[in-house]
């Protein structure tokens, strides 16, 4: 009887997923057989930028944020059309998609941006049996993490896609444990800045579990000891379940923005793979953009 009841339950959840209902467990069962890993340059790569501290009416030019990374990765085998540059402020320009063309300001929550990102990935890729790679810089990494977390562990009353196929996810200088900045005196008291503070309700939700891996998503956190915006411990925490951590030595002088543009040269770095308790040191490691490229190949050497 127990076996028959379990079979009926699984069948019901699969049917619910097919017709678009959000029920507990539906995401996990629907995504039980994702497409096989390709570990190649053939995946679509979503690029999610960070917070905009300047006048919101000016927006952000996505191509200026990601142009160097895209150019470098084209030289390593990717095609320009594979990159999806994600905007989320109303005035953002030259982005492939905008998650908030009408209501995109700094008071739109990171969880909601994650939900909208998840739906774009689902509609255009996951629902067609295609997996994608995700790269987020700074606050963009929180949006990436929110998208996967919300789908994997959503409340059945919330409107999230039934599943996502994410092969690899990389965060660059992301404040996984907050920025430690004073929003009132530094950026303004907007919601997005407050959500990036340690102990915020968003941070509590984000850390309700380790980084989600619904389809064996491979996570890489990349940070720098010279980043004055996001500390090394916040950008590359050892407690969140990421399979790979890459941290650049302070002597390299790699600041917050450089993590998404620096593609050439050998850099001194530390790394940890698969929960290792010790940091390994490399005197001639890859620059951050090259390390990002390596991470999308599910690399273990940096």
Lowest-pLDDT choice from 28-32, 46-50, 237-241, 292-296: 28-32
What pLDDT shows up at residue 28? 42
- pLDDT for residue 57 is more than 70: yes
What pLDDT shows up at residue 58? 82
Give me the half-sphere count of Cα atoms (radius 13 Å) on the Cβ side of residue 202: 25
- pLDDT for residue 64 is more than 80: yes
User: Whole-structure pTM over 0.75, yes or no?
Assistant: yes
Torsion over CA of 87, 92, 95 and 100, rounded to 10 degrees? 40
Q: Residues 134-191: pLDDT tens digits?
A: 999 999 999 999 999 999 987 888 999 999 999 999 999 999 999 876 675 555 579 9
What SS3 class is residue 286? strand
Q: Which of 88, 210, 214 is nearest to 139 (CA)?
A: 88
- pLDDT for residue 100 is more than 70: yes
Determine contact, residues 227/259, Cβ cutoff 8 Å.
yes
Q: Name every residue whose Cβ is closer than 8 Å to that of residue 16 and which is 6 or more positions away in sequence.
A: 22, 23, 26
State percent of the chain over pLDDT 70: 87
What pLDDT shows up at residue 31? 54
Kindly state the helix (H) or strand (E) to which residue 284 belongs, with its residue range: strand 280-286
**What CATH number should be reported for the domain whose range is 44-295?**
3.40.50.1820
What pLDDT shows up at residue 206? 95
Pairing mode of beta strands 44-48, 83-87: parallel
Determine contact, residues 175/196, Cβ cutoff 8 Å.
yes
What pLDDT shows up at residue 27? 42
């Amino acid at each position: 009887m127990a076996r028959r009841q379990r079979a009926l339950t699984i069948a019901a959840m699969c049917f619910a997923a097919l017709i678009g209902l959000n029920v507990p467990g539906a995401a996990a069962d629907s995504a039980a057989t994702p497409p096989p890993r390709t570990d190649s340059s053939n995946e679509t790569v979503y690029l999610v930028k960070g917070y905009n501290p300047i006048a919101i009416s000016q927006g952000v030019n996505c191509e200026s944020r990601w142009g160097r990374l895209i150019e470098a990765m084209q030289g390593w085998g990717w095609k320009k059309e594979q990159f999806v540059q994600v905007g989320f402020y109303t005035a953002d320009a030259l982005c492939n998609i905008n998650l908030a063309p009408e209501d995109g300001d700094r008071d739109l929550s990171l969880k909601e941006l994650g939900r909208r990102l998840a739906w774009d990935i689902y509609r255009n890729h996951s629902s067609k049996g295609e997996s994608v790679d995700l790269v987020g810089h700074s606050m963009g990494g929180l949006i990436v993490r929110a998208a996967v977390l919300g789908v994997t562990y959503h409340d059945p009353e919330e409107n999230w896609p039934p599943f996502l196929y994410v092969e690899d996810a990389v965060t660059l200088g992301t404040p996984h444990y907050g920025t430690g900045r004073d929003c009132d005196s530094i950026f303004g008291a907007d919601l997005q800045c407050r959500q990036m503070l340690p102990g915020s309700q968003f941070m509590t939700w984000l850390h309700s579990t380790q980084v989600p891996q619904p389809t064996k998503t491979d996570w890489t956190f990349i940070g720098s000891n010279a980043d004055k915006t996001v500390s090394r411990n916040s950008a590359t925490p050892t407690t969140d379940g990421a399979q790979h951590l890459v941290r650049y030595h302070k002597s390299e002088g790699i600041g917050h923005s450089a993590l998404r543009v620096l593609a050439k040269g050998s850099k001194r770095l530390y790394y940890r793979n698969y929960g290792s308790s010790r940091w390994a040191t490399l005197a001639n490691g890859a620059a951050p953009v090259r390390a990002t490229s390596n991470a999308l190949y599910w690399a273990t050497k940096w």
